[in-house]
Amino acid sequence: MKSISFFWCGLLLLALITTGRQTARAQIVPTGAASTVPTGTSPYSVAVSGPVAYVVSGSTSSGSGSGSLQVFNVTNPSAPVLLGAVATGTGPFDVAVSGSTAYVVNYVANTLQIFNVASPSAPALLGTAATGSFPRAVAVSGSTAYVVYGSTSGGSGTLQVFNVANPSAPVLLGAVATGNFPLDVVVSGPMAYVVNSGSGSLQVFNVANPSAPVLLGTAATGIFPYSVAVSGSTAYVVNYVANTLQIFNVASPSAPALLGTAATGNFPVDVAVSGSTAYVVNSTDNTLQVFNVANPSAPVLLGAVATGAGPGTVIVSGPAAYVANRVSNTLQIFNVAPITATNSVVLWQQVQVFPTPASNSVSVTLPARMRGTAIPVVLMNALSQTVRRETLPAVGEIRTLLLAGVAPGVYMLQLQTNEGNVSKRVVIE
């Protein structure tokens, strides 16, 4: 599968070369976080609206006390600033923002809370509603909030629908059974999309009538689906145990159909989509992966970048990707703005890696203009796991990376230059 992916990468690059300078654009794989800022303990979710990011954090252990909703100014992505914070219920697990209102579900307290964030320095609780046991996700559309809950012990979960037109008094409108242990919900138009980790399924519900949501269709996913994102008529699912990204056609809600699958890193927990690019965070590899999904039947891994420990959420807003790390207790911001394809392809052509196949070492030829620049490099295996990370010294145009101890196989060598990332295929015998 890895050789096929690199084959498609080659075709993509060829297409970019022939597209032309005026229209060609390419996704950028960030070389590192533009900034990292401390959060509360165990940040489980982040939402972004305009120049403001909202993070909920706090232990999901029973009896651990309240969590918090933190508000950050991210106008300057390289220097986010904490503006304010407010206590939530116990175990805040997800946050959604609409306008000047933030919605939080608390996994331990079993509540939906609504906050006024019009004044970011002084967020204020407006109202609270009881949910079912162990709410995991919330989505908001207009004056309606959607919550999924369900126990890990088995049995079906539930999708609840709340009227939040009056945020000080949210009202439960309706509910419908989901599969076992639902973990995420996304709403697009009159449809709600739910992934059920216990059932291994993606479900599509018609929520046009909030008091009577109706199940329209179900599709099998990989093992333990953890998150779903929807763009147009396409749904993207990451499977925590199967270590895959799956892409589904949901144009016909009654018959969602699998289009394509790509391997991810270990234990992917969230996916975000912007245009023809999908972003996946892997919780044990501590990586953010970037995929080209322009052809949904053949998604292509473009590259990966290291995150903090235990990334749990990724959100893409404008030219930035926001990652909340549950173990290192940080919010990171990555620049994912597109770059001109002409320049990126020229750089790709100028960087040469040889020999291939290689054995004890591999040499890298760089453009003359990079002669005095140290170049960080990352060698990744077929699962995008980092097997070697070094910095090539700022000496000459040809640099050498030693491969002692690296098992035979097909790898991706990512060079992190000041002009963007360059990924090259390396075969080691």
Return the CATH number at 312: 2.130.10.10
Question: Which pLDDT value is given to residue 160?
Answer: 98
Q: Does 330 share its domain with 424?
A: no
Residue 65 is given by DSSP the state: -
210 upstream amide cis, omega within 30 of 0: no
Q: Does 374 share its domain with 325?
A: no
Max intra-chain CA distance, the chain? 69
Q: Does 176 share its domain with 312?
A: yes
- With beta carbons less than 8 A apart as the criterion, state whether 33 and 307 touch: yes
Question: Which pLDDT value is given to residue 202?
Answer: 98
Last residue of a domain, one of 314, 337, 360: 337
Residue 419 inside a domain? The answer is: yes
User: Number of H helices and number of E strands within the chain?
Assistant: 2, 37
Q: Taking all residues of the chain, what is their mean pLDDT, rounded to a whole number?
A: 88
Q: Which residue range(s) make up the domain with 278?
A: 28-337
Which CA distances in Å does 77 have to 37, 81, 118, 404?
10, 9, 21, 39
Give the pLDDT confidence of 257-296 residue by residue, as tens digits. 999 999 999 999 999 999 899 999 999 999 999 999 999 9
- With beta carbons less than 8 A apart as the criterion, state whether 283 and 265 touch: no
Question: Which pLDDT value is given to residue 20?
Answer: 32
Rg over CA atoms, the chain = 22
pLDDT at residue 402 tops 50? yes
Q: Does 304 share its domain with 366?
A: no
Q: What are phi and psi of 202, to 5 degrees?
A: -110, 125
- Give the global pTM: 0.77
Average pLDDT over residues 222-240: 97
Q: Does 247 share its domain with 330?
A: yes
Residue 72 inside a domain? The answer is: yes
Question: Which pLDDT value is given to residue 21?
Answer: 31
Please report, for the domain that includes residue 370, its CATH number: 2.60.40.3080
Residue 374 inside a domain? The answer is: yes
Average pLDDT over residues 366-379: 84
Quick one: tokens of 416?
Answer: 């992190």
Question: Which pLDDT value is given to residue 10?
Answer: 38
**Least reliable range by pLDDT among 41-50, 55-64, 292-301, 307-316:** 55-64
pLDDT at residue 18 tops 80? no
Highest mean pLDDT among 1-15, 312-326, 409-423: 312-326
Quick one: tokens of 165?
Answer: 């037109």
Residue 87 inside a domain? The answer is: yes
Count CA atoms closer than 13 A to 46's CA, side-chain side.
Answer: 33
- With beta carbons less than 8 A apart as the criterion, state whether 95 and 106 touch: no
The more confidently predicted of residues 146 and 364 is 146
Q: Does 56 share its domain with 86?
A: yes
Q: What are phi and psi of 248, to 5 degrees?
A: -120, 140
Q: Does 362 share its domain with 287?
A: no
Q: Does 358 share its domain with 221?
A: no
Give the pLDDT confidence of 102-156 residue by residue, as tens digits. 999 999 999 999 999 999 999 999 999 999 999 999 999 999 999 999 976 667 8
Residue 8 inside a domain? The answer is: no
Q: How confident is the model at residue 338 (pLDDT cuts 50, 70, 90)?
A: low
Q: Does 227 share its domain with 78?
A: yes
Last residue of a domain, one of 310, 337, 364: 337
Residue 7 inside a domain? The answer is: no
Q: What are phi and psi of 80, to 5 degrees?
A: -65, 150
Residue 273 is given by DSSP the state: E
In the chain, the percentage of residues whose pLDDT exceeds 70 is 89
CA atoms of 278 and 397, how far apart (whole Å): 34
- Give the number of other CB atoms < 10 A from CB of residue 416: 19
CA atoms of 37 and 86, how far apart (whole Å): 18
Q: Does 41 share its domain with 70?
A: yes
pLDDT at residue 9 tops 60? no
Question: Which pLDDT value is given to residue 371?
Answer: 76
Q: Does 268 share its domain with 402?
A: no
Contacts of residue 50, Cβ cutoff 8 Å, sequence gap at least 6:
none
Contacts of residue 209, Cβ cutoff 8 Å, sequence gap at least 6:
174
Q: Does 203 share its domain with 326?
A: yes
Q: How many domains does the chain have?
A: 2
Residue 64 inside a domain? The answer is: yes
Residue 11 inside a domain? The answer is: no
Q: What are phi and psi of 341, to 5 degrees?
A: -65, -35
